[in-house]
Amino acid sequence: MLFNSSDFLIFFTVVFFLYWFVFNKTIKIQNLFILLVSYFFYGWWNWRFLGLLMLSTLIDYSFGFAIEKGTHTKRKFFLVLGLINNLLVLGIFKYYNFFIAETQHLGGLMGFHIHPYFLSIALPVGISFYTFHGMSYVIDIYRGNFKPVKSFVDYAVFVCFFPLLVAGPIERATHLVPQVTTPRKFNYAQGVQGLRLVLWGLFKKMVIADSLASIVDKIFANYHQYSGSTLFLGAFYFTIQIYCDFSGYSDIAIGTAKLLGFELLSNFRYPYYSKSISEFWKRWHISLSTWFNDYLFNPIVFALRKWAKWGIAFAVIITFLISGLWHGASRHYIAWGLWYGIALAYEALTRSQRKKIFKKLPLKLADFISWACTFLYVCIGYILFRSSTLHIAFDYMHCLTHNLFTTPELKSFLLIYVLPFIVLDWYFRKSERVLHLPNNIFIKYSFYTIMFYAILYHSNDNSSFIYFQF
């Protein structure tokens, strides 16, 4: 069930009224209701994978207690088991075919002809997200940051809460579980903010991202036919498209949760205004980057603390290689991860030198150069992300160098969609998650009306969200 579908509109309207008016007697009933509708929401896509979701939830829930009650060795043992459980689910459904194909390819290069068995199963939606919920839960308990959740229903709501089930934000038990276990009351301001975020998210997804998608698909599918300038524009359009698509999804998820009395973690903080790659990753897919930071990067840095700067550089490259792989079982995603790993390692190793150089420049010029370089690097990186194979990505980059300084084709989209969006995004940049509007009823209602009609005007194509495939 897509957030941008009429199915979801009907589903959520019914859930909203039942949640606040029928199942509002006790917190237990309310949570049980949320869990059931979350399963319904997930099952709407493919009910056969519901069993996997339930089993995975149950195992992590049980390991939480086993870790808490166990002795030092047993704690470690159950932690490893808990991690293996989640990684195994991910490994089978998401990475098995990829690694088998790579092994086959490698074997072929060395003269061994292997005929392995490939699985023909669909990738369960949201698997990368709910397994990460499970892993963070068992790690936090092992580290002593969190006590196991007593009620299975409460824990299952943390893992399966429908607004974040398929594409995040990746929540932490420390943040969400207390909200699950505390009675919730409807808050007017929170409700209004929630609705505004839903509207803004739908606008970003349906008006901007989906409109740009058609042109991006066209450029990437026929990149040989376009000049370098048009290919650059294609990469730029995709940069805007993916931001509107994913941050639009996150806004709808956060807004929907707000309407049910929950506050989810932020996922985006205007990333394209970043002045360095490290800043970009503090603003882009925040819930994922902080997850990797807490559970992968920091432990590696700690283990390699004797290497000082080089330890950080190594850790960041490893972390982003895995982050690339998390996005998809394909070489171009790994290359995309490496693209950022290298940039971040470079930033970590040259921080002091760069500071010295920038000190000599006027502040605004230094800021502008930093922003432009970062944005350009992000744009080029998205060629790796968007292309269907690594070979195509490199070929696209190669074609990009031809006739780069000519007038690009297909630039009308800039005026119609991109520039108005940038103006709005710039206006809202200080109010992520809240979306402040001037306190004037005419402006507010005009804003709602324009958004509403723009969404309706673009409601012909209910395309899926890019991050649903992960």
Active site residues: 327
The residue among 19 and 142 lying less far from another protein, judged by its C-beta, is 19
Interface characters, 242-281, with another protein (x: CB under 8 A): ----------------------------------------
The minimum distance between CB 187 and another protein, in angstroms, equals: 9
Is 453 a residue that touches another protein (CB under 8 A)?
Answer: yes
Inter-residue contact 465 to 249 (CB < 8 Å): yes
The answer to the question of residue 448 lying near another protein (CB under 8 A) is yes
Name the phi and psi angles at 113, rounded to 5.
Answer: -105, 100
Nearer to another protein, 188 or 405 (CB): 188
Please identify, using beta-carbon distances, which residue of 192 and 296 lies nearer to another protein. Answer: 192
CA separation for the pair 133, 85 (Å, rounded): 13
- Which residue type sits at 351? R
Buried/exposed 210-246: b ≥16 CB within 10 Å, e otherwise: bbbbebbeebbeebeebbbbbbbbbbbbbbbbbbbbb
For another protein, the closer CB: 24 or 266: 24
Distances (CA, A) of 357 to 4, 277, 365, 373: 47, 18, 12, 15
Shortest distance (Å) from residue 132 CB to another protein: 33
Query: If binding is defined by CB under 8 A, does position 445 make contact with another protein?
Result: yes
Segment lying near another protein (by CB under 8 A), choices 30-38, 43-51, 119-127, 455-463: 455-463
On the 0-12 / 13-18 / 19+ scale of CB atoms within 10 A, 96 is middle
Q: Judged by CB, which is closer to another protein: 249, or 447?
A: 447
Q: Does 434 bind another protein (CB under 8 A)?
A: no
How near is the Cβ of 460 to another protein at its closest, in Å? Answer: 5
Closest distance of CB 439 from another protein, Å = 14
Q: How far is the CB of 285 from another protein (least distance, A)?
A: 31
152 binds another protein (CB under 8 A): no
Out of 195, 397, 404, 414, point to the residue binding another protein (CB under 8 A). 195
Asked if 456 touches another protein (CB under 8 A), the answer is: yes
* DSSP class of 264: P
d(CA 247, CA 249): 5
Instruction: Answer yes or no whether residue 452 interacts with another protein by CB under 8 A.
Output: yes
Interface with another protein (CB under 8 A), residue from 36, 50, 100, 192: 192
Q: How far apart are CA 67 and CA 362, in angstroms?
A: 55
Residue type, 187: N
Quickly count: other Cβ atoms within 10 Å of residue 360's Cβ. Answer: 7
Residues composing the chain: 470
Q: Is 460 in the site for another protein (CB under 8 A)?
A: yes
Q: How far apart are CA 331 and CA 329, in angstroms?
A: 7
| C-beta separation of 137 from 146 below 8 A | yes
Query: Rounded to an integer, what distance in angstroms lies between the CA atom of residue 208 and that of residue 418?
Result: 7
CB of 454 to another protein, least distance (A): 9
Count of residues engaged in binding another protein, rule: CB under 8 A: 16
**Is residue 188 within the footprint of another protein (CB under 8 A)?**
yes
Q: Which of residues 4-23 bind another protein (CB under 8 A)?
A: 6, 20
Stretch of residues binding another protein (CB under 8 A), selected from 161-169, 336-344, 385-393, 450-458: 450-458
DSSP state of 465: P
The C-alpha atoms of residue 297 and residue 317 are separated, in whole angstroms, by: 9
Return phi, psi of residue 361, to 5°.
-95, 155
In Å, what is the CA distance from 465 to each residue of 132, 187, 209, 224, 335? 19, 29, 9, 27, 22
Query: With binding defined as CB under 8 A, does residue 439 bind another protein?
Result: no
Check residue 214 for interaction with another protein (CB under 8 A). Answer: no
Q: Is 222 in the site for another protein (CB under 8 A)?
A: no
Contact footprint for another protein (CB under 8 A): 6, 20, 186, 188, 191-192, 195, 445, 448-449, 452-453, 456-457, 459-460
